Structure 1
Amino acid sequence: MDELSKKLNTYFQGRVVRKDLTKKIKEGANVPVYVLEYLLGMYCATYDEDSINDGVERVKKILADNFVRPDEAEKIKSKIKELGRYTVIDKVSVKLNEKKDVYEAEFSNLGLKGVVISSHYVREFEKLLSGGIWNIVKISYFYDETARDVSPFNIDSLTPIQMPNLDIDEIMEGRKNFTKEEWIDILIRSIGMEPTQLDYSVKWHMLERIVPLVENNYNLCELGPRGTGKSHIYKEISPNSILISGGQTTVANLFYNMASRKIGLVGMWDAVAFDEVAGITFKDNDGIQIMKDYMASGSFARGREEKNASASMIFVGNINQSVEVLLKTSHLFEPFPEAMANDSAFFDRMHYYLPGWEVPKMRPEFLTDEYGYITDYLSEWCREMRKHSFTDAFDKYFKLGNNLNQRDVIAVRKTVSGLTKLIYPNGEYNKDDIAEILRYALVGRRRVKEQLKKIGGMEFYDVNFSYIDNETMEEEFVSVPEQGGGKIIPEGIGKAGHLYTIGRGRSGMIGAYKIETKVVNGSGKFEKTGLGSDREAKEAIETAFRFFKANSKNISGTISTGTKDYLMHVQDIHGVGLTSELALTAFIALCSAAMNRPAQSQIVVLGSMSIGGTISKVEELANVLQVCFDSGAKKILIPMSSAVDIGIVPPELFAKFQISFYQTPEDAVFKALGVE
């Protein structure tokens, strides 16, 4: 045992289990982890190695004798008949047979159907009616010739494989004996992972996966590569969550069955997870609309009734391309089905986007051999914490920046609340502790907002999330790692002939372009690279050079077009495809290189021109300015013809720049290069 395991055994004796025992038995028994650890907690809660080995053998024997394997169902049924009574471990679901006015149980692996079950079990364990739960069941056999349509199998007793009670004060007191780092490691070991093998940022992602289990009505999305354990917690670790594999469901199953007047999965479970989001389909046309309603408010209307529920919604799935490619060609919600993929209102309800690509693929060394909480103890604690709220945890120290709207604020508060419940359940934290959680919460919600901006345009322009220190009034901004932030246009004066513009690429998306120009001794040749086979982009660059040759003397008498060669390279920075809006920026770049005079720091040139020097206005000015800001621009050169569109630009965005207007190409050159 390492030191942390010894400490854990000291303060939580009987509540912990050695996770390698789970791993050993799990490999030979296809039962959920919480079923195994329920048994291990009963027979292996000790320090003594011999007693642990005896306990493991006992658990193995119980599973060998009582756990029902589907291929041995007939053998077990025969045992029940021959012995008269037998105990089995199986997943049991219950339905009401209204024609007979009885509840009937169905055994998942045993294959029994129509077994009458007492209504008091149904009242006590409602989840039997919704998907079923694992139980230890004593079954007896009695065949009555006069009742041919009644099953001869009878349920004598049924015990759900869950802890009967939880002392929440035990956890609150026990938490005081551990540091923040130790407590995080304990939680990660409790879900079967070895924290010493994980980066610090990955540990936080592991904790975020647990948040839907401690926070009511929490909407989490995690997309990433295969094999990173995205659905593991919701399927194996908690008996209070259900994983919908394949994604196909109905409104009646998920929300409310109007025929039987019974609430669906969201009313029975703490968390409902959709595996493989690409396959999410509703047989009902209004399914997605009802889901949006529920994700926003925790309630939904069916018929004349409005129902409330507290289940969190989790969406997990695979990204088949690299994140870089997705960001350039589409958005990070692209794996969702077509009915959702461009629905900004649906994604706006996501409280957090967990970057699955930052979590490593599972390998044997990532699984722990040390002690952690029995998963059932962990899940019952999570369920108890749903009654508490820490949404105001940061108000004493910080307030949120003005770019967060009401939905953003709710999302950030919910994430802060969930992580605070997990790491500081007794409410004992300081300013630095809560700042760390707040930053993490802001990044995940900003990731959602960045994608909404790509889907919905200017409606979601306000993505620059920040928090303000109540004491110093300093504002701290958070960035999303994969976006690259303002690194595209670096600070400081660049090289002569280097210029940036923003335009709409062939893909239909707006992106940044860099033009690099070099002048060498020669005979007036012009070479261009980076344009591929894009005819319109080539024509725009040719237009710039012809205009440059004809009008260079209007700029400076020192420019020579006959004794110099000009080399130009165009870079499509965002990978959105080349644009035809390059002529004016290319002309300024040629002038800059010829005069050996760099453009002003962090300036972007907008607008284009014809061969005769006619300036064209900027289309979708607000969207273009948002990309300018995201790319790191501080100064913007805008054609005078676009001044009429300034009114559609949000004032907060317009105020971020130093704006200059130009009327002619020559005017644009002087202003871009800072020539008076």
Structure 2
Amino acid sequence: MTDNEHTDVTPAQAAAPAMNDLDRKMTAEFSSYTVRKDLVGKVKGNALVPSYVLEYLLGKYATTTDQSSIDAGVDRVRAILADNYVHREEANLIQSKIREKGRYQIIDKVQVALNEKLDQYEAAFENLGISRVVVDPGTVKSNPKLLVTGIWCMCTLVYAYSGDPKDVPWRLQRLMPVQMSHDDRENYLRMRSHFSAEEWIDLLMQSIGFDPALFSERAKLLHLVRMIPFVERNYNLIELGPKGTGKSHIYSEFSPHGMLISGGEVTAAKLFVNNSSGQIGLVGYWDTVAFDEFAGKAKKADRALVDIMKNYMANKSFSRGRNTMQAEASLVFVGNTSHNVPYMLKNTDLFEELPAQYHDPAFLDRIHYYVPGWEFEQIRPEMFTRGYGFVVDYLAEILHNQRDMDHGSAYERYFTLSPTLSTRDKDGVRKTFSGLMKLIYPDGAATPEQMEPLLRCAIEGRKRVKDQLCRIDPTMAEVDFSYTRVGSAEPIAVRTLEETDYPELYWRGRPAQETDEAEDGDTLAAAAAPKPADGKKPDAASDMASDAAGETRDAAAPDDAARKPAEARQLTPIERAAAAAKEGHIKFAENRLGVTYGKIFGPYIAGAKRITIEDQYIRKAYQVRNLAEFLETVFAYTDHTEEVQVHLITGSEEGMLLDRQIENLNQVQAEYSKLGIMLTYEFSDSGHDRSIVTDTGWLVIPGRGLDIYQRFGDGNWFSPLMRQQSLRRVKEFSATYQRLRQGK
């Protein structure tokens, strides 16, 4: 559902779904601090205002489970946004309202600076476009963040023109930050005991906006790791992964105690301290400072800034000039990756996208946790919850007030870390464990069985950092990331998921560490072997001639690999598949069964690294599904440790249908990029031919393009036709295969 669709929803249409047990329990225990999470999207419209501001308003007017009260509250919040939120393009209109009415309440982001010539504090209103509004010193003292990057406020402005052209007519009568200020920890801890750990984790997931039913236990835990910087002082976290997975969302929308710096670039004066004024920077005012778009090899960073950051990340202190200062802000670095995990492990390391100044072992060793961004799915509308969760500002205030607690040593009664871990390794594990405990077991009371998954998660995140450091800096000693249970002498090893998935690439030339988990015996080569969707071996593609009707090629020509078993044993599965490719023309009769993309295209795309598809009719949803199944075939017939560039040239839909076409193509692009299939596309309505060209020298001319199957009930997820192409009946079609001359 689009944002426009959300804003057109009427109260009747916004009826809440049936409440589940967790919703009922939560609204009963935290009746004053809950909100139905889908209401934010319904009231936001085109207002560029953080979610915590909207939930603050919803928490005042729509904190209830009664539908009629919710409808009234939503209408009230909409009215407040319509009347008081300042859109930049309406700034002149709002200024006029203030003048004509004499007094008017607005919602805007306010920043204050000291005018030392006049010895007074003056405010600038971001959207309203006015400045030099005098602010009472007491207001600034109560809200020091006004002096940094500003905060969202509800303000009452008065217009009082004095006749002096040098005088500013705007007067600030009242300023109220849009955030809760009281500490409700006692009640929060008492109510937590009424929930199981599983219920509490689901409640936290709903509070940040997601439907917990759609996430695995591991995915939920990784989402909670993203929240640790808000609850743990001086916590250093990095997350790199594909676009569209919500890496930066929580740092911009979740808490008024968090600051997101777009672009990833900042000066030492802004981040730490301004030597001219002596004013402390962002780390002195915010719980979390996150750097968005931090990755990018071409980006450059001030070497002095990197050095100050390294000192701060290690010692919680920084020095610019004479004085050494301390701060408590956690630092978060989020950025996009250009390659999938096997490619990075084979060719570089998991930090490869960082600017050169940050691709530095001394800097990276200060990172406490590396969140594997590639494990998060691209955000889709159905992932968002319609259930109840904490008003995020309430939860953010609770987490802020928990920062002075420390549960980092709680596991030591039951578990012992490997003595080979360095001080920084142990510090990273301890801080992550402490943060997870504060989130899930805030009173510190947990059994060894409840603590162990949290400890394993904490060890894994630090291990991901250290293992990559050993790649970058060969002089760095490898350590044993294991732990033992008290009373047992047997160490328990912790693995990263990518280590388990790609052991030969992960250890690159070194013997893979033994695992305590059951293995199926498959090596990477076996895992990378072509496995078409029809379940047959890839070199079975050579027998597609016998399945075809009316083919023109020589069906009696045996497969060279089959004639020479000794030679075939020396070939990889992909090479054997490619050996089956032959020039010719083949035709399939109407209603045939057993025809798959693997048979038609497999041998000709085997081992390719660049493929160009020209097909005017990759437009509708089922045609884009055909493209996805073709990419699945590409994945089966190519080396998983190399990226394959697939470029699509197709026709475009019109109007709203074009938006849907682009959305579908982008989703396919995002899903297959995780597998190293890098899809790009362009629209061209001038061509009519269909073709597939590979960098291995093959031109395939499929008469019907990818649309070879008769329509079937593709909305039925239980139908075997959904996943088994060989069970579908085909339309009559033909395909021509040509070996391209060199230079074509």
TM-score over 0.5 (shorter chain): yes
User: Which residue matches 2:489?
Assistant: 473
Establish whether residue 120 from structure 1 lines up as the match of residue 138 from structure 2: yes
User: Which residue matches 2:680?
Assistant: none
- Once the two structures are TM-superposed, the CA of residue 27 in structure 1 deviates from its matched residue by 3.8
For the residue of structure 1 that corresponds to 2:200, the secondary structure is helix
Alignment partner of 1:180 out of 197, 201, 219: 197
Give me the whole-angstrom Cα distance separating, in 2, the residues matched to 1:521 and 1:186. Answer: 63
Q: 1:404 to 1:33 in 2, by over 3 A?
A: same
Establish whether residue 386 from structure 1 lines up as the match of residue 403 from structure 2: yes
CA contact (8 A) 1:351 1:415 kept: yes
More strand by share: 1
Give me the whole-angstrom Cα distance separating, in 2, the residues matched to 1:192 and 1:237. Answer: 10
Q: How does 1:477-492 map to 2 (within 5 A)?
A: 477-484=493-500, 488=504
For the residue of structure 1 that corresponds to 2:204, the secondary structure is helix
- Once the two structures are TM-superposed, the CA of residue 481 in structure 1 deviates from its matched residue by 1.2
- Once the two structures are TM-superposed, the CA of residue 521 in structure 1 deviates from its matched residue by 14
Give me the whole-angstrom Cα distance separating, in 2, the residues matched to 1:246 and 1:526. Answer: 52
Alignment partner of 1:100 out of 118, 124, 128: 118
For the residue of structure 1 that corresponds to 2:328, the secondary structure is coil
User: Which residue matches 1:35?
Assistant: 53
User: Which residue matches 2:263?
Assistant: 246
Larger radius of gyration, structure 1 or 2?
Answer: 1
Establish whether residue 44 from structure 1 lines up as the match of residue 56 from structure 2: no
- Once the two structures are TM-superposed, the CA of residue 160 in structure 1 deviates from its matched residue by 0.1
Give me the whole-angstrom Cα distance separating, in 1, the residues matched to 2:181 and 2:485. Answer: 44
- Once the two structures are TM-superposed, the CA of residue 486 in structure 1 deviates from its matched residue by 9.0
- Give the AA of the match of 1:473: A
Give me the whole-angstrom Cα distance separating, in 2, the residues matched to 1:228 and 1:97. Answer: 43
User: Which residue matches 2:322?
Assistant: 304
- Once the two structures are TM-superposed, the CA of residue 284 in structure 1 deviates from its matched residue by 4.4
Give me the whole-angstrom Cα distance separating, in 1, the residues matched to 2:228 and 2:155. Answer: 32
- Once the two structures are TM-superposed, the CA of residue 145 in structure 1 deviates from its matched residue by 2.1
CA contact (8 A) 1:94 1:129 kept: yes
For the residue of structure 1 that corresponds to 2:289, the secondary structure is strand
- Once the two structures are TM-superposed, the CA of residue 331 in structure 1 deviates from its matched residue by 0.8
| 1:292-345, Cα deviation, whole Å (9 max, x unpaired) | 11111110111110000000000001011111101111111111112222x101
Alignment partner of 1:224 out of 228, 236, 241: 241
Establish whether residue 313 from structure 1 lines up as the match of residue 331 from structure 2: yes
Q: 1:35 to 1:485 in 2, by over 3 A?
A: closer
Q: Which runs of 5+ in 2 are unaligned?
A: 1-18, 505-510, 516-522, 526-561, 575-638, 644-744
Alignment partner of 1:288 out of 299, 306, 316: 306
Q: 1:521 to 1:116 in 2, by over 3 A?
A: closer
The alignment's C-alpha RMSD in Å is 2.7
CA contact (8 A) 2:484 2:490 kept: yes
Alignment partner of 2:230 out of 203, 213, 233: 213
Give me the whole-angstrom Cα distance separating, in 2, the residues matched to 1:158 and 1:233. Answer: 26
Give me the whole-angstrom Cα distance separating, in 1, the residues matched to 2:501 and 2:459. Answer: 15
- Give the AA of the match of 1:108: E
User: Which residue matches 1:453?
Assistant: 470
Q: Which runs of 5+ in 1 are unaligned?
A: 493-497, 501-519, 533-571, 577-676
Give me the whole-angstrom Cα distance separating, in 2, the residues matched to 1:446 and 1:27. Answer: 43
Q: How does 1:155-166 map to 2 (within 5 A)?
A: 155-166=172-183
Q: How does 1:577-616 map to 2 (within 5 A)?
A: none
User: Which residue matches 1:82?
Assistant: 100
Structure 1 stretches of 4+ moved >4 Å:
279-284, 485-492, 524-530, 572-576
Give me the whole-angstrom Cα distance separating, in 2, the residues matched to 1:573 and 1:64. Answer: 52
TM-score for the superposition, normalised by structure 1:
0.72
Q: 1:359 to 1:525 in 2, by over 3 A?
A: closer
- Give the AA of the match of 2:94: I
| 1:418-474, Cα deviation, whole Å (9 max, x unpaired) | 000000001120001111100000011000011101101131322x30011112232
Q: How does 1:496-645 map to 2 (within 5 A)?
A: none
User: Which residue matches 1:265?
Assistant: 282
- Once the two structures are TM-superposed, the CA of residue 379 in structure 1 deviates from its matched residue by 0.3
- Give the AA of the match of 1:381: I
| 1:372-423, Cα deviation, whole Å (9 max, x unpaired) | 0000001000101101011111010011012311000000000000000000
- Once the two structures are TM-superposed, the CA of residue 150 in structure 1 deviates from its matched residue by 2.8
Give me the whole-angstrom Cα distance separating, in 2, the residues matched to 1:573 and 1:369. Answer: 39
Give me the whole-angstrom Cα distance separating, in 2, the residues matched to 1:170 and 1:484. Answer: 43
Give me the whole-angstrom Cα distance separating, in 2, the residues matched to 1:242 and 1:413. Answer: 25
User: Which residue matches 1:444?
Assistant: 461
Establish whether residue 414 from structure 1 lines up as the match of residue 431 from structure 2: yes
User: Which residue matches 1:349?
Assistant: 366
CA contact (8 A) 1:447 1:480 kept: yes
CA contact (8 A) 1:188 1:195 kept: yes
User: Which residue matches 1:512?
Assistant: none
- Deviates most, 133-142 or 193-202: 193-202
Establish whether residue 134 from structure 1 lines up as the match of residue 152 from structure 2: yes
- Once the two structures are TM-superposed, the CA of residue 47 in structure 1 deviates from its matched residue by 2.1
Give me the whole-angstrom Cα distance separating, in 2, the residues matched to 1:177 and 1:29. Answer: 37
Q: 1:528 to 1:369 in 2, by over 3 A?
A: closer
Give me the whole-angstrom Cα distance separating, in 1, the residues matched to 2:170 and 2:206. Answer: 41
CA contact (8 A) 1:214 1:386 kept: yes
CA contact (8 A) 2:301 2:357 kept: no
Establish whether residue 339 from structure 1 lines up as the match of residue 350 from structure 2: no
CA contact (8 A) 1:452 1:460 kept: no
Establish whether residue 25 from structure 1 lines up as the match of residue 21 from structure 2: no
CA contact (8 A) 2:296 2:353 kept: no
Give me the whole-angstrom Cα distance separating, in 1, the residues matched to 2:186 and 2:569. Answer: 75
Give me the whole-angstrom Cα distance separating, in 2, the residues matched to 1:362 and 1:447. Answer: 24
User: Which residue matches 1:196?
Assistant: 213
| 1:628-672, Cα deviation, whole Å (9 max, x unpaired) | xxxxxxxxxxxxxxxxxxxxxxxxxxxxxxxxxxxxxxxxxxxxx
- Deviates most, 399-408 or 410-419: 399-408
- Once the two structures are TM-superposed, the CA of residue 163 in structure 1 deviates from its matched residue by 1.1
Give me the whole-angstrom Cα distance separating, in 1, the residues matched to 2:32 and 2:194. Answer: 17
User: Which residue matches 2:619?
Assistant: none
For the residue of structure 1 that corresponds to 2:259, the secondary structure is strand
CA contact (8 A) 2:342 2:642 kept: no
Q: 1:150 to 1:473 in 2, by over 3 A?
A: farther
For the residue of structure 2 that corresponds to 1:140, the secondary structure is strand
| 1:155-201, Cα deviation, whole Å (9 max, x unpaired) | 00000001131221111100010000000000111111111111111
Q: 1:116 to 1:428 in 2, by over 3 A?
A: same
For the residue of structure 2 that corresponds to 1:113, the secondary structure is strand
Give me the whole-angstrom Cα distance separating, in 2, the residues matched to 1:23 and 1:528. Answer: 59
Give me the whole-angstrom Cα distance separating, in 2, the residues matched to 1:105 and 1:119. Answer: 11
Q: 1:473 to 1:114 in 2, by over 3 A?
A: same
Give me the whole-angstrom Cα distance separating, in 2, the residues matched to 1:187 and 1:112. Answer: 39
Report the number of matched residues. Answer: 510
Alignment partner of 1:56 out of 57, 60, 74: 74
CA contact (8 A) 1:449 1:460 kept: no
Q: 1:76 to 1:575 in 2, by over 3 A?
A: closer
Q: 1:203 to 1:283 in 2, by over 3 A?
A: closer
Q: How does 1:648-667 map to 2 (within 5 A)?
A: none
